[in-house]
């Protein structure tokens, strides 16, 4: 028999439901903004839209992910579904995130060859690349690569669905290289940006014929510094919690150390939730994505102010009368 979880049910829902709701709503806002603006209907935004859909699905599956670390009485097929499907959504989200970063990286590193990329010439093929491999890998336990023994209903756990080799291969063969690739491309872009900024400042000084940095150069350097700080803080806030959760989860699931279920649940919610915020940071930082929502909020604000003003005028006239 599986051990009772008791208060862990309420803890999972208390943490994941608000976080999941926020992720879903934010993704829907950006998706609607892209869908309603025809100027955003191009290949780069289609890649970002695919990432938002994957992030939306991750937000939907977020309340079910902490359950993967608990034991439950389920049949073999049900146990596979509750473990394989969230894992597929997570891997698809990660593949889409790498593709978006790679597409933007090539746009900056090789702008002349940007339009001739294979992903632009064959967008459906690019979608297959970011969605099919995660589905195939996540489905391997359903094709026999699992530790399930016996038939009928039994204690469903992460260890019975995913063998140790599967966990190691996913974490250190797929997830960690993907995160390092994203960090490497981001660092390379910042380095190129720094070099271009130096060239701009050098040209500006040659035109102005001065050796001292002008106010414009100082503003450019300040903007670049802010950009570096923002990228660093985003990486620390979004990826470091997930990296901690990932290694703790591996140690816990493989029995190398003992952690309480409460600790694992909190780490899983914070880790997966912080990682799912990455596309939202990329989307909300783009004014084109947030402009429709800002216009709608402005209209509602103006309508509310007119309503209050009309109501105040009516009360004032009533008092005078």
Note the pLDDT of residue 98: 92
Structure confidence by residue, pLDDT tens digits, 142-172: 898 888 876 655 678 777 888 888 988 998 8
Looking at the predicted structure, is the pLDDT value of residue 132 above 90? yes
Whether residue 295 is contained in a domain is answered as no
The total number of structural domains in the chain stands at 1
Over residues 46-88, the pLDDT tens digits come to: 899 999 999 999 989 888 888 877 777 888 888 888 889 989 9
Residue 306 lies in a domain: no
Evaluate whether 226 touches 271 at the Cβ level (below 8 Å): no
pLDDT for the residue 315: 59
Above 90 in pLDDT, residue 308?
A: no
Q: Residue 124 belongs to a domain with what CATH number?
A: 1.20.1070.10
**Region 11-28: what's the mean pLDDT?**
87
* pLDDT for res 79: 85
Average pLDDT, the chain: 80
257 by DSSP, 3-state: which?
A: coil
Is 204 among the domain residues? yes
Q: How far is CA 51 from CA 42, 44, 155, 277, in A?
A: 14, 11, 35, 12
Dig out the tokens for 32 from the structure. 């609607």
Residues 6+ apart with CB under 8 A from 124: none
295 token code pair:
């216009």
The parent domain of residue 53 ranges over 8-287
165 within a domain of the structure (yes/no): yes
Q: Is 320 part of a structural domain of the chain?
A: no
């Amino acid at each position: 028999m599986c051990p009772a979880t008791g208060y862990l049910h309420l803890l999972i829902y208390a943490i994941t439901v608000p976080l999941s709701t926020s992720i879903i709503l934010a993704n829907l806002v950006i998706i609607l903004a892209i869908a309603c603006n025809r100027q955003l209907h191009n290949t780069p935004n289609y890649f970002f839209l695919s990432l938002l859909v994957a992030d939306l699905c991750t937000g939907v599956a977020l309340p079910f992910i902490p359950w993967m670390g608990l034991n439950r009485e389920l049949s073999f097929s049900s146990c596979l579904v509750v473990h394989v499907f969230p894992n597929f959504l997570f891997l698809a989200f990660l593949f889409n995130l790498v593709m978006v970063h790679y597409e933007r990286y090539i746009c900056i590193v090789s702008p002349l060859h940007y339009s001739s990329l294979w992903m632009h010439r064959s967008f459906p093929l690019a979608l297959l690349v970011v969605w099919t491999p995660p589905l195939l890998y996540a489905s391997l336990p359903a094709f026999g690569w699992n530790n399930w023994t016996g038939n009928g209903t039994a204690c469903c756990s992460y260890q019975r669905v995913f063998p140790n080799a599967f966990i190691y291969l996913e974490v250190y063969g797929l997830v960690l290289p993907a995160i390092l690739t994203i960090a490497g491309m981001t660092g390379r872009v910042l380095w190129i940006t720094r070099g271009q900024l130096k060239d701009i400042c050098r040209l500006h000084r040659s035109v102005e014929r001065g050796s001292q940095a002008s106010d414009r150069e100082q503003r450019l350097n300040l903007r670049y510094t802010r950009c570096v700080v923002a990228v660093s803080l985003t990486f620390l806030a979004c990826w470091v919690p997930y990296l901690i959760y990932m290694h703790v989860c591996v140690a816990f699931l493989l029995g190398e150390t003992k952690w309480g279920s409460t600790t694992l649940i909190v780490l899983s919610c914070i880790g997966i939730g912080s990682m799912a915020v990455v596309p939202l940071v990329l989307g909300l930082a783009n004014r084109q994505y947030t402009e429709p929502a800002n216009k709608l909020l402005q209209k509602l604000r103006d309508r509310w102010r007119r309503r209050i003003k009309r109501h105040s005028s009516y009360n004032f006239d009533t008092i005078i009368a």
